[in-house]
Amino acid sequence: MRDSARATDVGGLMNSTPWPVVDHSFLAALQQRRPTPFPHGLSGDPRLSLESIARLGDELGAGSISAEQAQKPLVSADAGAGTTLEVVAVSDQIRALAANDSWFTLLNIEQSETYRDLVDQVLEGMAAGAGLDPRTMKRRMGFVFASSPGSVTAAHFDIEHSFLLQLEGHRRLGFGRFSSTEDREREVHRYWNGSFGRLDTLPEQTLELELGPGQGAYIPPYTPHWIANGDATSLSLTVTFFNRDNADESMVQAFNERLRRRGLSPRTYGEAPVRDRAKVTFMRAYGAAKRRVKGPETSASH
Ligand SMILES: [Fe+2]
């Protein structure tokens, strides 16, 4: 009885709420880092029309825009260095996306108050559906991706919990897994030394999702994935956050990299939980002293 009532509610929300529509079963997916598709109602929102995105690009300024050529191989170990585009007049370049073979990221849109509110709305709406305490979602960030037909996002992993909301256009999102613990460790080490999570080989595919307007996916931290656009311009929003799970893991990794630079061979996160907790405690204190832990802010690439 309760279940059918809830299902009706969810169905009714699908076209009217901008956030991912998830129920309490999503909590397990979050804890187990399991890729999960969801519907959302953000397509058609005036805050994310092509024109609004173009204007937001101007408001944020060149320092918050990343631009690349659209057509790239699915594996690109040089972190995109060979395909960088010059940002001249970002709003005009975004308006011309249908024909100019470009791929734009608007970084940290939460710098703008309107879009900070949007990031909170999306994450807190998702949290309410999942039964998740919104206070556990820290370092909330938002990214808008605007790309030409045929664009490719090379295989990579992120350290954040990410929610990709497709707004316009169709894309195929592939997920993979690391071939071994050693392979994962090698890629994590490369992440903290400038790879931004870009993989140098395409992992075995474990899942593929077709995403169109109104569809989205939860992309767990440390999970390889890649994206290929269809034959139309793609607009999407990604919102990210850290909770204790990935914040602790990333802090231990950052700590371990410091030890490696001193010639030591630290234990991998998860192998020695008591030691992990000591490292996290140290890094939290260090981070408070230095205001934040040094490391890549985000790979922000979908
Ligand atoms: Fe990503």
Quote the ligand 1 centre to 164 CA distance (angstroms): 9
Q: How far apart are CA 273 and CA 155, in angstroms?
A: 30
Same domain, 251 and 208: no
Give me the pLDDT at residue 165, please. Answer: 98
pLDDT above 50 (res 295):
no
Same domain, 154 and 9: yes
Give me the pLDDT at residue 7, please. Answer: 35
Same domain, 283 and 182: no
pLDDT digits (tens, 9 = 90+) for 192-219: 888 888 998 889 999 999 999 999 999 9
Report the pLDDT averaged over residues 98-109.
Answer: 86
Q: Which domain holds residue 286?
A: 246-290
Report the pLDDT averaged over residues 71-95.
Answer: 72
How many other C-beta atoms lie within 10 A of the C-beta of residue 276? 20
Quote the ligand 1 centre to 11 CA distance (angstroms): 28
Contact between residue 130 and residue 88 where contact means Cβ atoms under 8 Å apart: no
pLDDT above 70 (res 78):
no
Same domain, 143 and 174: yes
Quote the ligand 1 centre to 274 CA distance (angstroms): 31
Give me the pLDDT at residue 299, please. Answer: 52
299 lies in some domain: no
Q: Which of 207-216, 234-243, 266-275, 287-296 has the lowest mean pLDDT?
A: 287-296
Give me the pLDDT at residue 167, please. Answer: 97
Give me the pLDDT at residue 289, please. Answer: 63
Quote the ligand 1 centre to 4 CA distance (angstroms): 35
Quote the ligand 1 centre to 153 CA distance (angstroms): 8
Quote the ligand 1 centre to 147 CA distance (angstroms): 15
Same domain, 6 and 87: yes
Same domain, 208 and 183: yes
What is the domain-level CATH number for residue 46? 2.60.120.650
Quote the ligand 1 centre to 300 CA distance (angstroms): 6
Give me the pLDDT at residue 6, please. Answer: 38
Quote the ligand 1 centre to 299 CA distance (angstroms): 7
Give me the pLDDT at residue 96, please. Answer: 82
Phi-psi region of 250 (alpha: psi -120 to 50; beta: other; left: phi over 0): alpha
Cα-based angle 209, 5, 217 (whole degrees, multiple of 5):
15
Name the residue with higher pLDDT: 299 or 22: 22
296 lies in some domain: no
Quote the ligand 1 centre to 276 CA distance (angstroms): 26
Quote the ligand 1 centre to 8 CA distance (angstroms): 32
Same domain, 119 and 221: yes
Same domain, 196 and 263: no
Q: How confident is the model at residue 288 (pLDDT cuts 50, 70, 90)?
A: low
Quote the ligand 1 centre to 200 CA distance (angstroms): 15
Quote the ligand 1 centre to 216 CA distance (angstroms): 13
CA distances from 65 to 54, 204, 237 (A): 11, 31, 14
Q: How confident is the model at residue 264 (pLDDT cuts 50, 70, 90)?
A: confident
pLDDT digits (tens, 9 = 90+) for 134-165: 999 999 999 999 988 888 888 999 999 999 99
pLDDT above 70 (res 271):
yes
302 lies in some domain: no
Give me the pLDDT at residue 12, please. Answer: 41
Same domain, 171 and 253: no
297 lies in some domain: no
110 lies in some domain: yes
Give me the pLDDT at residue 201, please. Answer: 86
Quote the ligand 1 centre to 7 CA distance (angstroms): 30
pLDDT above 60 (res 294):
no
Quote the ligand 1 centre to 235 CA distance (angstroms): 15
Same domain, 30 and 179: yes
pTM summary value: 0.85
Q: How far apart are CA 280 and CA 151, in angstroms?
A: 39
Q: How confident is the model at residue 259 (pLDDT cuts 50, 70, 90)?
A: confident
Q: How confident is the model at residue 81 (pLDDT cuts 50, 70, 90)?
A: low
Q: What does the chain look like in DSSP terms, one character per residue?
A: -HHHHHHHHHHHHTTT-SS----TTHHHHHHTT--EEEE-S-TT-GGGSHHHHHHHHHHH-GGGEEEEES---S--TTTTGGGB---SSHHHHHHTTTTS-EEEEE--GGGSHHHHHHHHHHHHHHHHHHT--GGG-EEEEEEEEEE-TT-EEEEE--SSEEEEEEEES-EEEEEEE-SSHHHHHHHHHHIIIIITTB-SSPPEEEEEEEE-TTEEEEE-TT--EEEEE-SS-EEEEEEEEE-HHHHHHHHHHHHHHHHHHTT--PPPTTT-HHHHHHHHHHHHHHHHHHSS--S-------
pLDDT above 80 (res 34):
yes
Give me the pLDDT at residue 83, please. Answer: 67
Quote the ligand 1 centre to 49 CA distance (angstroms): 22
Report the pLDDT averaged over residues 65-92.
Answer: 73
Same domain, 52 and 159: yes
What's the domain count of the chain? Answer: 2
pLDDT above 80 (res 16):
no
Give me the pLDDT at residue 281, please. Answer: 87
User: What tokens appear for 59 in the block?
Assistant: 């408001």
Same domain, 266 and 132: no
